[in-house]
Amino acid sequence: MTKVIKLSSLVQDDKNFNRHTAEGMELLENSIRKTGIIESITVSSDNKIISGNARQEKMREVLGDAVPIIVDTDGTKPIIIRRSDIHSDTKEFYEAAILANTVSKNNINLNDNLIRSVAVEQYDIQVEDLGVGEIITEKQLKEINDAKTMEIVAYRKVHVLLSFSPEKMIEIQDILKQLKENPDIEYEQGAN
């Protein structure tokens, strides 16, 4: 059964695990302006957004309070969006295909603290099974902080490996510059 409601009736998730990026949000807006809607929004039975908070935000900016097509489903059957205005093997087809992937790639900025406090600690979700890297719980963090500090031995080096997103790298570049300039610290940077 299909219902018609306003785009503004969809409720943003106040615990959205994706903080998004400025670049990704700009790309999403450009995608909607250039190719229209190519990705859907998924909501709960009470219209809270599960997936698509950024899409709803940008759709409202570009399209106003448009009336979306709502398809009620229990998730057991695929829902396919067929674009009647785009034919395969055309410029429009490939622009839409590229934008669908580059927006996803460039607009992800997971909030590990929120994932930890909501998904892991409140709901005991095994987030590693869902593609999220290991999340340290508050209890584990306390255990680490309470552990004895390592005795510093003369002429011994301590190696620390930090991994983070390119966005975080930009955010902490001043700190990294200070580390590089310290003559007592060997600094090595790599990517994978």
User: Per-residue pLDDT tens for 167-192?
Assistant: 888 888 888 888 888 877 777 777 65
Q: Which of 5, 6, 71, 58 is CA-nearest to residue 28?
A: 58
Nearest to 66 by CA among 8, 2, 1: 8
Closest alpha carbon to 51 in 85, 16, 98:
16
Q: Structure tokens of 176?
A: 């990294």
Rounded to 5 degrees, what angle do the CA atoms 109, 114, 115 make?
Answer: 80
Is 8 within 8 Å of 37 (Cβ atoms)? no
Task: Judge whether residue 63 has pLDDT over 60.
Answer: yes
- Give dist(CA 66, CA 99) in Å, integer: 22
Residue 93: predicted pLDDT = 96
For 68-102, write each residue's pLDDT tens digit. 989 999 999 999 999 999 999 999 999 999 999 99
